[in-house]
Amino acid sequence: ANFSEQVVESFPSDMSTGIYYGWACVGNGDVHKMVLSIGWNPFYKNIKKSVETHIIHTFKEDFYGEILSIVIIGYIRPEKNFDSLEALISAIQEDIEEAKRQLDLPEHLKLKEDNFFHLPEGKIVNNH
Protein backbone atom coordinates (compact mmCIF):
# COMPACT_ATOMS: atom_id res chain seq x y z
CA ALA A 1 0.00 0.00 0.00
CA ASN A 2 1.60 3.23 -1.13
CA PHE A 3 0.85 6.62 0.35
CA SER A 4 0.05 9.59 -1.88
CA GLU A 5 2.68 12.27 -2.58
CA GLN A 6 0.74 14.62 -0.28
CA VAL A 7 1.02 12.16 2.63
CA VAL A 8 4.69 11.45 1.88
CA GLU A 9 5.43 15.19 1.99
CA SER A 10 3.78 15.40 5.42
CA PHE A 11 6.26 12.93 6.96
CA PRO A 12 8.97 14.62 9.07
CA SER A 13 11.72 15.82 6.71
CA ASP A 14 14.44 14.67 9.11
CA MET A 15 13.11 11.09 9.23
CA SER A 16 15.80 8.72 7.99
CA THR A 17 15.13 6.75 4.85
CA GLY A 18 15.07 3.02 5.33
CA ILE A 19 12.96 0.15 6.52
CA TYR A 20 10.71 0.43 9.58
CA TYR A 21 8.19 -1.83 11.31
CA GLY A 22 4.95 -1.23 13.10
CA TRP A 23 1.20 -1.71 13.00
CA ALA A 24 -1.29 -0.97 10.21
CA CYS A 25 -5.06 -0.89 9.92
CA VAL A 26 -7.20 -0.53 6.80
CA GLY A 27 -10.42 1.39 7.47
CA ASN A 28 -11.93 0.09 10.70
CA GLY A 29 -10.56 -3.41 10.11
CA ASP A 30 -8.18 -5.50 12.15
CA VAL A 31 -4.71 -4.25 13.07
CA HIS A 32 -1.83 -6.15 11.42
CA LYS A 33 1.94 -6.19 11.54
CA MET A 34 3.61 -4.16 8.81
CA VAL A 35 6.95 -3.24 7.29
CA LEU A 36 7.38 0.27 5.89
CA SER A 37 9.87 1.50 3.31
CA ILE A 38 10.65 5.22 3.26
CA GLY A 39 12.93 6.51 0.52
CA TRP A 40 13.74 6.52 -3.15
CA ASN A 41 13.92 2.76 -3.78
CA PRO A 42 17.29 2.91 -5.54
CA PHE A 43 16.80 -0.50 -7.19
CA TYR A 44 13.88 0.98 -9.15
CA LYS A 45 15.60 4.37 -9.58
CA ASN A 46 12.65 6.36 -8.25
CA ILE A 47 13.03 10.12 -8.55
CA LYS A 48 10.41 10.88 -5.90
CA LYS A 49 10.50 9.81 -2.29
CA SER A 50 7.91 7.17 -1.51
CA VAL A 51 6.40 5.56 1.56
CA GLU A 52 5.32 1.99 0.90
CA THR A 53 3.55 -0.15 3.46
CA HIS A 54 3.70 -3.94 3.32
CA ILE A 55 0.96 -5.26 5.59
CA ILE A 56 1.82 -8.74 6.83
CA HIS A 57 -1.60 -10.18 6.10
CA THR A 58 -3.40 -11.63 3.07
CA PHE A 59 -6.48 -9.59 2.21
CA LYS A 60 -9.39 -11.16 0.31
CA GLU A 61 -9.83 -8.09 -1.88
CA ASP A 62 -8.21 -4.78 -2.83
CA PHE A 63 -8.62 -1.83 -0.52
CA TYR A 64 -7.99 1.11 -2.84
CA GLY A 65 -9.50 4.31 -1.47
CA GLU A 66 -9.64 3.08 2.13
CA ILE A 67 -7.99 4.97 4.98
CA LEU A 68 -4.69 3.33 5.96
CA SER A 69 -3.62 4.08 9.53
CA ILE A 70 -0.11 3.18 10.63
CA VAL A 71 2.01 3.42 13.76
CA ILE A 72 5.76 3.20 13.20
CA ILE A 73 7.39 1.42 16.13
CA GLY A 74 11.01 0.87 15.13
CA TYR A 75 13.79 0.98 12.54
CA ILE A 76 15.23 -2.12 10.86
CA ARG A 77 17.89 -0.86 8.44
CA PRO A 78 18.88 1.94 6.08
CA GLU A 79 17.73 2.08 2.48
CA LYS A 80 20.19 0.49 0.04
CA ASN A 81 20.51 -0.64 -3.53
CA PHE A 82 20.65 -4.29 -4.61
CA ASP A 83 22.54 -6.08 -7.36
CA SER A 84 19.54 -8.19 -8.33
CA LEU A 85 15.83 -8.59 -7.86
CA GLU A 86 16.52 -11.83 -5.97
CA ALA A 87 18.73 -9.96 -3.48
CA LEU A 88 16.00 -7.34 -2.99
CA ILE A 89 13.36 -10.05 -2.42
CA SER A 90 15.64 -11.82 0.06
CA ALA A 91 16.19 -8.59 2.02
CA ILE A 92 12.44 -7.91 2.07
CA GLN A 93 11.81 -11.40 3.46
CA GLU A 94 14.44 -10.82 6.16
CA ASP A 95 12.85 -7.45 7.00
CA ILE A 96 9.45 -9.11 7.37
CA GLU A 97 10.85 -11.77 9.72
CA GLU A 98 12.61 -9.11 11.82
CA ALA A 99 9.38 -7.07 12.00
CA LYS A 100 7.45 -10.14 13.17
CA ARG A 101 10.03 -10.84 15.91
CA GLN A 102 10.05 -7.24 17.13
CA LEU A 103 6.27 -6.82 17.07
CA ASP A 104 5.80 -9.98 19.16
CA LEU A 105 7.63 -8.28 22.05
CA PRO A 106 5.17 -7.34 24.84
CA GLU A 107 6.06 -3.63 24.70
CA HIS A 108 5.24 -3.54 20.98
CA LEU A 109 2.28 -5.93 21.06
CA LYS A 110 0.35 -3.66 23.44
CA LEU A 111 0.38 -0.83 20.85
CA LYS A 112 -1.72 -2.99 18.54
CA GLU A 113 -4.70 -2.24 20.80
CA ASP A 114 -4.21 1.54 20.83
CA ASN A 115 -7.36 3.64 20.40
CA PHE A 116 -5.68 5.33 17.42
CA PHE A 117 -6.80 2.39 15.31
CA HIS A 118 -10.42 2.47 16.38
CA LEU A 119 -12.12 5.43 14.70
CA PRO A 120 -15.76 6.04 15.55
CA GLU A 121 -18.06 5.13 12.65
CA GLY A 122 -18.52 8.01 10.27
CA LYS A 123 -15.64 10.08 11.69
CA ILE A 124 -14.06 12.38 9.13
CA VAL A 125 -10.26 12.19 9.02
CA ASN A 126 -8.21 14.69 6.97
CA ASN A 127 -11.34 15.84 5.12
CA HIS A 128 -12.14 12.27 3.97
Decide: 51 and 7 in contact? Cβ < 8 Å: yes
Among all residues, which ones are annotated catalytic? Answer: 52
Closest CA to 15 of 53, 70, 72, 69: 72
The helix or strand, by DSSP H or E, that contains position 20, with its residue range, turns out to be: strand 18-26
* Burial class (CB within 10 angstroms; exposed 0-12, middle 13-18, buried 19+) of 65: exposed
